[in-house]
Chain A
Amino acid sequence: MRGLPLRQLVDVYRAKFRAEIALQFAYRWALAIWLLGLLLQPIVYLVVWTTVARSQGGTVGGFSARDFAAYFTIFMVVNQLTFTWHYWEFEWRVRQGFFSPLLLRPIHPLHNDLAENVTFKLLTFTVVAPVAVLLLVTFNASLNPSPWQVLAFLPALVFAFALRFLLEWTLALAAFWLTRVTAINQAYYLAVVFLSGQMAPLELLPEAVQVIAAVLPFRWMVAFPVETVLGRLSPMEVAVGLAAQLIWIGLALGLLRFGWRAGVRRYSAVGA
């Protein structure tokens, strides 16, 4: 990435923010329907797992119905704040040549997507947050984090977002080489659903799966901040987790730089 004065970056993000807000309001019904889907998903998991817990005499693998309510609600919030969609757009961008104008601006295209992403998150969070509170209250969720857990949750969340954004943007670069990337994206998406703790808390999954999720970046992209604020991790485990996140962010940055250079080279070789 090119070094840009911070003041300029902030200015770009603000301009992008204003434009994006206007755009989202222009498509408010699409946004509303999308939000509804986002909110329904955890409710489905929540209802299923709460029912299972009840039928098993109250708990599944140490999770009570109230624990599940807390887990899936917080997961919804973290997932909403960390997810990205840019890799679904890259194929279209590359095929239609929409990448060209982005390349000719004196600013890395990543900033365009990051600004768009952050704006969208801020906007939708105003709906997601009250819904989350509503869910927590309705399902009588057991969420009593200690102050240090709340404090650790914040960097864990920011790192999770940074990691997920960088990795998924790197994944998106595949579109420079392959004209069809939908299959890859679909496979990746399934991996995220399964290995990031979206279907079930990772500790309920077989040990082998837990190991895979922790060795690969998936646990650190979503599940880890959730586990932290739910109080399911010791201080040591949280510290290790934050370190794992930082290591992965470093790796992702390296991958992105390398992939970006190679990708643009490829793009500008075959006919932008």
Chain B
Amino acid sequence: MSGTPEQAIQVRELRKTYVVPEREGGLAAAARSLVRRRTREVPAVAGISFDVAPGEIVGFLGPNGAGKTTTLKVLSGLLHPTSGEVTALGHVPWQRETAFLRRMTLIMGQRNQLAWDIPVVDSFDLNRAIYQIPAAEYRERVKELVELLELEELLRKPVRNLSLGERMKCEVAGSLLHRPDVLFLDEPTIGLDVTMQRRIRNFIAHYTERTGATTLLTSHYMADVEALCRRVLVIHHGQLLYDGDLAGLVTRFSPHKTIVIDLEPSGPAVDGRIEALVGSPDWLVSHAEDRLTLRVPRSETAAVTTRLLANLQVADVIVEEPPIDEVIDLVFAAGPADAQAKDAR
């Protein structure tokens, strides 16, 4: 084992291609496939590279099938890549060395790892034994997790009797008992209600802050990513479209800002002057009653706002970035050609 690596995770030109059997429907096709099986190659990850520094929390964004889960599975050692180099904590993940496995965890929102039929606390105890957690530390950690996640009532129940949210809280707690240095979280909040999502999210934030654990997270919920990750990786069709901070993502892919202006109802009529004041008729999205909504190029935002404030009787003004989900849609629409984002972080 090498010493402490400078990067917690290094990925170079990672590729993973699945070979899947393929046949058309129907009896004849089924008979033909007995003799000769046709297969098709499906590239899930098509050559991505990135580094993650110790303690960094990185969000993976991408539509279904983008290659997020495949990448996490390679990083955690479940999958052999087709090609490329990966190290995590100085280990090659898929060799699944004990020293590596003891320092990491993979939490999948759609899979459970706790034994279905036995009380949660028994599963915890099994993890204590497997990860060789000293008894005193184990008690202390369980106590802390029970308080933070409010597990008291759940510990004695078999997992199958828990609700989805309760189960997820227990999954998260059980996966962190051994204090992993690297966390791979694949949709940890999927299917949970908003309150439970927030609770899990807050807890993960708390854990990473306290332990300095390196974390890679995928989620369909932007709220998770916004709350936890300063840096995001956007992948689409197995390729990395963007690697940088969340704010930069918005600047890069959404060249517009939205300005909403509420006029004083008692003020003079403005109908004739609006277009001249705004600067371009294309920028005016709507004008209804006393409210103007504009979509203005980023570079013009300040000038336009100043002009409007100086010439109109304004009651209120809001300048905002477009919703992050819209930006993400834009990124996916743009595709790899437009977004060879090798931004210096």
Residue B158 at the chain A interface, CB threshold 8 Å = yes
Bitwise, A1-34 to B at CB < 8 A (1) or not (0) is 0101000100110111011001100110000000
Interfacial chain B residues near A272, Cβ < 8 Å: 73, 78-79
Q: B residues touching A (Cβ–Cβ < 8 Å)?
A: 18-19, 70, 73, 76-80, 94, 96, 98, 101-102, 105-106, 108, 111, 113, 115, 117-119, 122-123, 125-126, 128-132, 158
- Given known contacts A101-B111, A103-B78, is B101 in contact with A26 (CB within 8 Å)? no
Interfacial chain B residues near A22, Cβ < 8 Å: 118-119, 122
- Given known contacts A8-B129, A8-B132, A15-B125, is B98 in contact with A106 (CB within 8 Å)? yes
Residue A187 at the chain B interface, CB threshold 8 Å = no
Q: Which residue of A lies closest to B74 (CB)?
A: A268
Interfacial chain B residues near A11, Cβ < 8 Å: 129, 132
Interfacial chain A residues near B18, Cβ < 8 Å: 270-271
- Given known contacts A12-B126, A270-B18, is B101 in contact with A265 (CB within 8 Å)? no
Bitwise, A75-114 to B at CB < 8 A (1) or not (0) is 0000000000000000000000100110111110000000
- Given known contacts A26-B158, A106-B101, A268-B94, is B128 in contact with A15 (CB within 8 Å)? yes
Whether B117 and A97, one on each chain, are in contact in the complex, defined by CB atoms closer than 8 angstroms, is no
A41–B132 alpha-carbon span in the complex (Å)? 43
A115–B106 alpha-carbon span in the complex (Å)? 24
Classify the interface of chain B: helix, strand, loop or mixed.
Answer: mixed
Interfacial chain A residues near B106, Cβ < 8 Å: 100, 104
Whether A23 and B132, one on each chain, are in contact in the complex, defined by CB atoms closer than 8 angstroms, is no
Q: Tell me how far the C-beta of A253 lies from the nearest C-beta in chain B, rounded to whole angstroms.
A: 20
- Other A-B pairs beyond A11-B129, A11-B132, A104-B105, 9, CB < 8 Å: A12-B126, A23-B115, A101-B113, A103-B77, A104-B77, A104-B78, A265-B80, A268-B79, A272-B78
Q: Which residue of A lies closest to B82 (CB)?
A: A269
Within 8 A of B (CB), among A200-251: none
Interfacial chain A residues near B115, Cβ < 8 Å: 19, 23
- Given known contacts A2-B98, A104-B106, A270-B18, is B122 in contact with A12 (CB within 8 Å)? no
Q: Size range of the interface on A?
A: 20 to 34
Closest 6 CB pairs of A and B: A101-B113, A106-B101, A19-B122, A15-B129, A272-B78, A11-B129
Interfacial chain A residues near B122, Cβ < 8 Å: 15, 18-19, 22
CB<8 Å pairs between A and B, sample of 27:
A2-B98, A8-B129, A8-B132, A11-B129, A12-B129, A14-B129, A15-B122, A15-B130, A16-B126, A19-B115, A19-B122, A19-B125, A22-B118, A22-B119, A27-B117, A100-B106, A104-B106, A106-B102, A106-B130, A106-B131, A268-B80, A268-B94, A269-B79, A270-B18, A270-B19, A271-B18, A272-B78
Q: Which residue of A lies closest to B76 (CB)?
A: A104
Q: Which residue of A lies closest to B80 (CB)?
A: A268
Q: Which residue of B lies closest to A102 (CB)?
A: B113
Q: Tell me how far the C-beta of A29 lies from the nearest C-beta in chain B, rounded to whole angstroms.
A: 14
Whether B118 and A105, one on each chain, are in contact in the complex, defined by CB atoms closer than 8 angstroms, is no
Q: Which residue of A lies closest to B110 (CB)?
A: A97
Whether A18 and B79, one on each chain, are in contact in the complex, defined by CB atoms closer than 8 angstroms, is no
Within 8 A of B (CB), among A137-181: none
A97–B76 alpha-carbon span in the complex (Å)? 15
Q: Which residue of B lies closest to A19 (CB)?
A: B122
